[in-house]
Amino acid sequence: MGKPKPASATAAPRGHKRRPKRTRPSGKGGGPEPREEKRKRRELDGVGLAEEAPPPGSSLGKILSTESGAIGLEQSDEDDMEDEHTVPGDDETNDMINNKDDAFDEMEASCSFHRHVSRIITNEEVNALLKQKCKFKWEVPAEDIPKSKWVGTGEKMEGAYVDLIGGVKGKLRDHWQNTLSDQLNSRLNFFSLCSSYRDIMHCNKKPFYLKGGSTVDSSTMDSYLMHALNHINRTREIVVKNDAKLRSDPSKDILDDNSFLDQGFTRPKVLFLLPLKSIARRVVKRLIQLSPLSQKDIIAKFEGKFGESDDEVEEPVQSNKPADFDLLFAGDTDDEFLFGIKYTKKSMNLFSNFYSSDIIVASPLALIKKINGVDDNGKEPAKERDFDFLSSIEIVVVDHADVILMQSWSHLYAVFEQLNQLPSKEHGTNVMRIRPWYLDQHARYYRQTILLSSYLTPEMNALFNGLCLNYEGKVKLVTEFKGVLSKIQFEAPQVYERFDASSITEVDDARFDHFCKKVYPKIQVSDEGRVLLFVSSYFEYIRIRNFLKSQEASFCRIGETTSQQDISRARLWFFEGKKKILLYSERSHFYHRYKIRGAHHLIIYSLPGRKEFYPELVNMLSESENRKCTVFFSRLDLLKLERIVGTFAAQRLVSSDKSIFVFR
């Protein structure tokens, strides 16, 4: 895929070496802003960061009262110098300035980072982004992913989209070439796609815990880590060079020089959202390896604070569980963690203060508790809520989103709603150097979201379409599936029954009515027992449980909140035929992978999101001589259906005039 063109004519031309003066729309038209009005507006914008005017002694008050060339307190690298106990001398400062006169000028011709952050979108473009529906207008083959293609919005990407890390500079590029060696080329396709700064939804990523997935997953992880490191390196480089200029000329007036607009409200720029501590450890250890800094004692320090490295087990302990279950849950399955990572000139500091960090690594649960001001005991403390460190996030990576879906998708959605909000107070930022699109409250239109999952769901589509509004556009992977019916170990008739639902808001009620009126009466009058009833969501689980109770049905249940004692009792009762129906949820299967014995009739009330679960469920009928399988679906279940029966078969099932289909 070729390198994307600038999003509009207003983007800086590739050969242009002089940055045009920024214009700001005013009323119906736009034009250059007078110097005094610009100074007054930026000062007022800076004051507006706090809930009230800053007191004379506050850091914001100090910034506003100094010369316009003052250096920001938090986002400059003054703290780096303190860490390293060195202050650059005059010769070093002059070299930084004279050899690299303008941090923006050097990158303008080819750097996608500069092109992205220097573009100023208008209010009209923002309104268009809010109104547009996510209609993908072009497609290109995904050359490294079988039977897949990228579809997207915005400028079409032509051909193989490989930049050969040409936009990466110095030590970072050299370190990757040495560390990755012959593996580097396999990382470049997805790295270059990330470097386009578009929103990306890759929902067919083979995870490390599935057979053959380790290499693919590691390649994708390396790619987004490389992109995050490059983004942080570019950001820090500009700030450091501008700081050096201001130290050499403290009286310099920066109001008419747009190259000094290099910061956000706060320092953190990258957010990694991950489901489990073991996965977070895997990501951070690789991040350390890809960072061109001294790695001495960093991994040991990380493991000392974050836990032992018991998750990277090449050969997990043998059990009666599937191999992918053993690999996924081999390490620390804690789903509550939140810490910062800070880069300085010579070091990588783990567990740094959020407001001095460059990267935030978190689980959705821990982050939403931080946002809501909830302490470790689940209570809301009296202290003020503090999540302003999310105000200037420019890259969000959600990895293993399918595992997060099994935890609580609402937490992830709530976190996204809090990103790029106007901070409630100042945090030592030099308001004279804040990028204009932060002051315009347009930061969320510049934020890049990279969503990675092993499968796609309507919830992921809703988040990607509704809360990811990057002005650069979006790309999404579309894959043709062959299905998993071939993994069923014996011949078993699988009857697919389609029910009608006109909209997504009606599908739950329509499914429930179909079960209550057409399926359950047959179970009730039949002498047949041992019906395994599988549901995919907690809402469906509660609804069916309440219905069976109201009917005084002979049933037992296994859900995610069922105690171990009740689970053992339910499995025994069902196997011995003492209970006619066993209600079983997908989330419970995900966390325990029970093999339910004694089932004669499997009813799949709603298809599992994970395609691997379907053959596992059907294979539970192996001990029955009169095995039956019944599956309910609607036309709105196409995403799940195609992963199980295959793309072409799924299209026939949802488009046919018939409503009953049989697979053997």
Question: Per-residue pLDDT for 647 more than 60?
Answer: yes
267 and 135 within one domain: yes
- 130-to-121, 138, 417, 422 alpha-carbon distances in Å: 13, 20, 15, 19
Domain-embedded: residue 596? yes
Question: Per-residue pLDDT for 88 more than 50?
Answer: no
- Residues of the chain above pLDDT 70, percent: 79
For residues 603 and 583, the answer to whether their CB atoms sit within 8 Å is no
Count CB neighbours of 452 within 10 A.
23
Domain-embedded: residue 356? yes
User: What is the model's pLDDT at position 87?
Assistant: 42
User: What is the model's pLDDT at position 76?
Assistant: 62
Domain-embedded: residue 657? yes
Q: Rounded CA gap, 226 and 622, in Å?
A: 47
Question: Per-residue pLDDT for 10 more than 50?
Answer: no
DSSP 8-state code for residue 425: S
596 and 467 within one domain: no
Residue type, 137: K
- Binned at pLDDT 50, 70 and 90, residue 80 comes out as low
Range of the domain at 529: 485-663
Domain-embedded: residue 442? yes
Domain-embedded: residue 656? yes
Alpha-helix runs per DSSP H in 132-209: 170-180, 184-194
561 and 428 within one domain: no
User: What is the model's pLDDT at position 379?
Assistant: 65
Task: Work out the average pLDDT over 394-417.
Answer: 97
Task: Work out the average pLDDT over 635-644.
Answer: 96
Alpha-helix runs per DSSP H in 48-121: 59-65, 78-84, 90-99, 103-107, 112-118
Domain-embedded: residue 72? no
Q: Does residue 502 or residue 604 have the better pLDDT?
A: 604
291 and 439 within one domain: yes
Domain-embedded: residue 45? no
490 and 468 within one domain: no
Q: Which structure tokens are listed for 45?
A: 């914008």
120 and 268 within one domain: yes
Q: Which one of 479, 494, 521 terminates a domain?
A: 479
User: What is the model's pLDDT at position 135?
Assistant: 83
User: What is the model's pLDDT at position 93?
Assistant: 44
Q: Which one of 444, 479, 514 terminates a domain?
A: 479
Q: What is the tens place of the pLDDT at every residue in 436-457? A: 999 999 999 999 999 999 999 9
527 and 451 within one domain: no
Residue 334, domain CATH: 3.40.50.300
3-state secondary structure of 268: coil
Lowest mean pLDDT, pick from 80-89, 118-127, 406-415, 568-577: 80-89
Helix (H) or strand (E) holding 343: strand 338-343
463 and 337 within one domain: yes
Q: Which one of 427, 451, 479 terminates a domain?
A: 479
Lowest mean pLDDT, pick from 1-10, 169-178, 241-250, 592-601: 1-10
DSSP string, 568-623: HHHHHHHHTTSSSEEEEEHHHHHHH-----S-SEEEESS--SSTTHHHHHHGGGTT
Question: Per-residue pLDDT for 239 more than 70?
Answer: yes
Q: Which structure tokens are listed for 195?
A: 């470097």
CB under 8 Å to 586, separation ≥6 — which residues? 534, 535, 536, 537, 608, 609, 610, 613
Residue type, 365: L
Number of structural domains in the chain: 2
Give the burial class of 252: count Cβ atoms within 10 A of its Cβ; 0-12 exposed, 13-18 middle, 19 or more buried.
Answer: middle
Three-state secondary structure readout of 8-60: CCCCCCCCCCCCCCCCEEECCEEECCCHHHHHHHHHHHHHCCCCCCCCCCCHH
Q: What is the tens place of the pLDDT at every residue in 289-338? A: 999 887 767 877 787 778 765 545 445 566 789 999 999 999 899 999 99
395 and 358 within one domain: yes
445 and 411 within one domain: yes
User: What is the model's pLDDT at position 65?
Assistant: 35
Terminal Cα distance for the chain, rounded: 41
406 and 428 within one domain: yes
- When mean pLDDT is compared over 30-34, 58-62, 90-94, the highest value belongs to 30-34
Q: Rounded CA gap, 13 and 16, in Å?
A: 5
Question: Per-residue pLDDT for 250 more than 60?
Answer: yes
Question: Per-residue pLDDT for 102 more than 60?
Answer: no
Question: Per-residue pLDDT for 14 more than 70?
Answer: no
Phi and psi at 85, nearest 5°, equal: 60, 35
468 and 527 within one domain: no
Domain-embedded: residue 82? no
